[in-house]
Structure 1
């Protein structure tokens, strides 16, 4: 396909994807209304935090933090929070985290032995090792399996979320009001029957998170992740500048050619690594999960923010108090 015909086809595909995204947004309206009733401050954040002028104004209100005086031991060794925060300000991501082998093994064991819920649906409950049988039993494609609040039963996961380095980094980057918000573990599964609708509902396109004015998320691979196991992709530098077109829309997901065309192909980093490897990112930067092709991926996330935590469970993530 060449020339105008190809361009027209791309335009039609973009319209189709946008239509699906809008339908999903309409379906979420009851959830959005619940958020507003629970916390009226959520609505201005949702509408304005996607724009750079309002976002930068909010960053100016961050409570200053002095040089770290934290002497509590960290499972991550002698990494300096100030240095990590400086790298985050520059690129939006820091990739030098490694879980102790015993911690990684314990959380991985929990992930294998604890039933998860497929596609965020509590009616689709199964053990990760029975994923193929679960797809046959439930008669549908299952791309993910979340443990929801069950992660709080795992002592090793609790040890990670409470590690002093994570809060120290968050305070140096987000400001002194930074607080622990969410913790989750989930599986990403390879499947041969994923439809376009399945993929459009998942995070397999470049998007940014809009859960708070200022956020930071720590991710840890709990299984080996190579190019065929659904590695995470992050667009460096996209956390602190944004194409005007992407600020003036309610959609957070955008086609790869638009994102990489603006930030550059070489700005995207694909994160592979052994079990236990981790990274921290500003999720306002464009990122995406890739489809697991051969091997399932088990992952953990610990999120920090600056606003009042919602009582609802966003993506099944427990609110940690």
Structure 2
């Protein structure tokens, strides 16, 4: 039996213990981010506050946005104006749909291409062999990411470069919007997960802070119901933020605290058939939920206004 000790897994260490300990473990990653892009530090410190976010929106040079899509979109019948209007009001638009041929091709790719468990390139396996992989590696495996392998799938590339997505991003974020992340990943139900394991995944309300302004498109690549670990988003939390949630270096907060401030009715659970999709402003609070019966397979295409990291793929804690 092969075994990878959690003590040697940077992300495992980073997700355990106190918030300060988790941040301390990530200091080498933060320092590397600063060396690669010195503007990362002011963004990381200031972009969590509403006044500085508004200031950045006002002072950032904004390239003109051309009207109309360059090419035919996969998303027939969806108007850019309606999507942007919903994003500005609620931070969410939930009526996207991938063509059957596209989402089926991506799902087939994800079942036949090895993924990496728990963000660790040493834990490589095929998704249908998940139970066997947990036995082989002697640990719980909650997620399976493909990193750069996601871009080996032509259907992923077709979705990534769809003109509607780019049009929406540029009208919402500004003309400088660019793709900063594209990924497909599995989230697995597992009976052997400890509390430390569960804390590794995004199973608590949080907001993303990878850039000053972001937009993320998500697509379900399998049928998702309450047992498949659906995504949850807090409507309106992208433009309304408690002072407590701005004056802290932590991005994650307990569910009862979030729902008490933003209201239980603001929480939207995003279930749907394979191919269904939505777009959100990830500065709004959101979370994944843990699958209890069936694995979830999703695709994310993210846009931002700054250069993406060249050193690692989305979520990967390993410095290379």
Q: Is the CA contact 1:116–1:147 (under 8 Å) kept in the aligned structure 2? A: yes
1:72 deviates by 1.7
CA offset digits 1:122-163 (Å, max 9, x no partner): 000000000001001100000000011001110000000000
Is 2:53 aligned against 1:47? no
Q: Which residue of 2 aligns with 1:10?
A: none
Which ranges in structure 2 are unaligned for 5 or more consecutive residues? Answer: 1-14
Structure 1: distance between partners of 2:136 and 2:299 = 27
Q: Which residue of 1 aligns with 2:32?
A: 34
Is 2:292 aligned against 1:315? no
Structure 2: distance between partners of 1:132 and 1:141 = 9
1:24 deviates by 1.7
Q: Which residue of 1 aligns with 2:228?
A: 229
1:78 deviates by 2.9
1:174-253 matched pairs, under 5 angstroms: 174-253=173-252
Distance 1:110 1:18, change over 3 A: closer
Structure 2: distance between partners of 1:240 and 1:47 = 18
1:193 deviates by 1.2
* TM-score, normalisation: structure 2: 0.91
Aligned to 1:238, the other structure's residue is in SS state coil
Structure 2: distance between partners of 1:149 and 1:68 = 32
1:1-321 matched pairs, under 5 angstroms: 19-61=17-59, 63=62, 65=64, 68-313=67-312, 314-316=314-316
Q: Is the CA contact 1:65–1:172 (under 8 Å) kept in the aligned structure 2? A: no
Distance 1:81 1:204, change over 3 A: same
CA offset digits 1:205-252 (Å, max 9, x no partner): 000000000000000000010000000000000001111011111000
Structure 1: distance between partners of 2:91 and 2:63 = 19
Structure 2: distance between partners of 1:65 and 1:92 = 23
1:64 deviates by 6.5
Aligned to 1:177, the other structure's residue is in SS state coil
* TM-score, normalisation: structure 1: 0.91
Distance 1:87 1:67, change over 3 A: farther
Q: Is the CA contact 1:217–1:302 (under 8 Å) kept in the aligned structure 2? A: yes
1:68 deviates by 2.4
Number of equivalences: 301
Aligned CA-pair RMSD: 1.5
Q: Which residue of 2 aligns with 1:3?
A: none
Q: Is the CA contact 2:111–2:127 (under 8 Å) kept in the aligned structure 1? A: yes
Structure 2: distance between partners of 1:135 and 1:161 = 32
1:194 deviates by 1.2
1:67 deviates by 6.9
1:21 deviates by 2.8
Structure 1: distance between partners of 2:65 and 2:144 = 40
1:66 deviates by 5.2
